[in-house]
Chains A and B, each alone.
Chain A
Amino acid sequence: MRLHLNAARASRGNWSLVAKGTFCKGIHLVSGDVGSGKSSLALMMAGLLSPAGGNIVRDGISSTMISLQFPEYHVTGATVEEECRSWGLDCEPIFSEINLRDKRTAEPLALSRGELKRLHLACVLAKNYDLLLLDEPFSSLDAREKERLCEHLSLRSAGITILFTHEQTYFPRVDHIWEIQHGELFDRGEMPGALTMWEHAPALIKKLISSGRSLKNISHLDLQEAVCRM
Chain B
Amino acid sequence: MIEVSGLRYRNIGIDSLTIPPGITSVIGPNGSGKTSFLRLCSGITEPEAGEILIDGKKPRETDAGWVNEFPDKNILFSQVSEEIASALRFSHQPCRQTESAVLAIAETMDIMHLLDRTMRELSGGEKVLVALAAALVQRPKILVLDEYDSHLDEMRCLQIEQVIRSCTVPYVIRCTQQMETAARGDYLLFLENGCISLSGNPARVFASLRQTLFYPLSWRCEV
Q: Interface of A with B (CB < 8 Å)?
A: 12-13, 31-35, 37-40, 69-70, 72, 111-115, 117-118, 136, 138-147, 166, 168-169, 200, 202-204, 207-208, 211, 220, 223-224, 226-227
Contact assessment for B221 and A204 in the assembled complex, using a CB-CB cutoff below 8 Å: yes
- Which residue from B30, B123, B180, B218 sits with its C-beta under 8 Å from A112? B30
7 A-B pairs in the complex with CB atoms less than 8 angstroms apart: A32-B153, A34-B129, A35-B126, A40-B123, A166-B153, A169-B218, A204-B223
| Closest beta carbon of chain B to A220's beta carbon, Å | 7
Contact assessment for A203 and B218 in the assembled complex, using a CB-CB cutoff below 8 Å: yes
Asked whether B154 is an interface residue with its Cβ less than 8 Å from the other chain, the reply is yes
* A40 CA / B129 CA spacing, docked (Å): 18
- Which residue from B31, B70, B179 sits with its C-beta under 8 Å from A169? B179
Which residues of the partner chain B approach A204 to less than 8 Å between Cβ atoms? Answer: 180, 217-218, 221, 223
For chain B, the count of residues having a C-beta within 8 Å of the partner chain is 40
| Closest beta carbon of chain A to B205's beta carbon, Å | 14
Which residues of the partner chain A approach B177 to less than 8 Å between Cβ atoms? Answer: 114, 138-143, 146
* A202 CA / B223 CA spacing, docked (Å): 13
Which residues of the partner chain A approach B223 to less than 8 Å between Cβ atoms? Answer: 204, 207-208, 211, 227
Q: Interface of B with A (CB < 8 Å)?
A: 28-31, 34-35, 69-72, 117, 121-126, 129, 147, 150-156, 177-180, 212-214, 216-218, 220-223
Residue from B117, B152, B153, B156 with most neighbouring chain A CB atoms (10 Å): B153
Contact assessment for B217 and A34 in the assembled complex, using a CB-CB cutoff below 8 Å: no
* A204 CA / B178 CA spacing, docked (Å): 13
- Which residue from A142, A169, A202, A203 sits with its C-beta under 8 Å from B29? A142
Q: B181's closest neighbor in chain A, by CB? A: A168
- Which residue from B71, B151, B221, B222 sits with its C-beta under 8 Å from A166? B151
| Closest beta carbon of chain A to B150's beta carbon, Å | 4
Which residues of the partner chain A approach B126 to less than 8 Å between Cβ atoms? Answer: 34-35
Known: A115-B30, A204-B217, A204-B223. A139 touches B150 (CB 8 A): yes
Contact assessment for A143 and B180 in the assembled complex, using a CB-CB cutoff below 8 Å: no
Which residues of the partner chain B approach A147 to less than 8 Å between Cβ atoms? Answer: 213
Which residues of the partner chain A approach B34 to less than 8 Å between Cβ atoms? Answer: 112
* A220 CA / B221 CA spacing, docked (Å): 11
Contact assessment for A142 and B218 in the assembled complex, using a CB-CB cutoff below 8 Å: no
Which residues of the partner chain B approach A140 to less than 8 Å between Cβ atoms? Answer: 30, 69, 147, 150, 177
* A92 CA / B188 CA spacing, docked (Å): 37
Q: 8 tightest A-B contacts by CB?
A: A114-B30, A34-B125, A139-B150, A143-B213, A207-B223, A227-B221, A113-B69, A169-B217
| Closest beta carbon of chain A to B210's beta carbon, Å | 13
Which residues of the partner chain B approach A223 to less than 8 Å between Cβ atoms? Answer: 217, 221
Which residues of the partner chain B approach A211 to less than 8 Å between Cβ atoms? Answer: 223
